[in-house]
Amino acid sequence: MSTVNVLRLAILAFGGLAFAQGERRDRLGDPLPAGAMQRLGNLRMRYPSFPCLAYLPDGRAIVTQGGTLDICDMARGERLSSTRVSDAGVISVQTRSDGKALLIGDSAGKVREWDVER
């Protein structure tokens, strides 16, 4: 048995996949590409790359790309808001201990506090 077949067997055995007639979908209901058995990630939150990731105490995630900060609901796989926070690229994000604000550092050397709920 080849390595590829063993991997497929492991995914079938441990992935909890149910096979049905018709188009396959991931757990969020997005269609899977032909031949795919499951998806790692989802179609709703695609980022080519992101330099910073932080989590809020309530489970929401903060993702940055360039000077934009997105707040995402990771459980539902959707972007809740997107805000331009810097003209320079964001290079650092840290949640304040109470989770109500972020400290954002950019490539211009500026650090600012940003209210999560605004």
Please tell me the predicted confidence (pLDDT) of residue 43: 56
Q: Check whether 9 has a pLDDT greater than 50.
A: no
Position with higher pLDDT, 14 vs 84: 84
**In one letter, which amino acid is 1?**
M
- What residue segments make up the domains of the chain, in order of their start? 1-43, 52-115
pLDDT digits (tens, 9 = 90+) for 94-104: 888 888 899 99
- Quickly state the pLDDT bin for 60 (edges 50, 70, 90): confident
| The pTM of the whole model exceeds 0.85 | no
**Which one of 2.40.10, 1.10.246, 2.60.60, 2.30.30 gives the CATH number of domain 52-115?**
2.40.10
pLDDT digits (tens, 9 = 90+) for 66-84: 788 888 887 777 888 888 9
Please tell me the predicted confidence (pLDDT) of residue 30: 79
DSSP H/E element including 12: helix 3-14
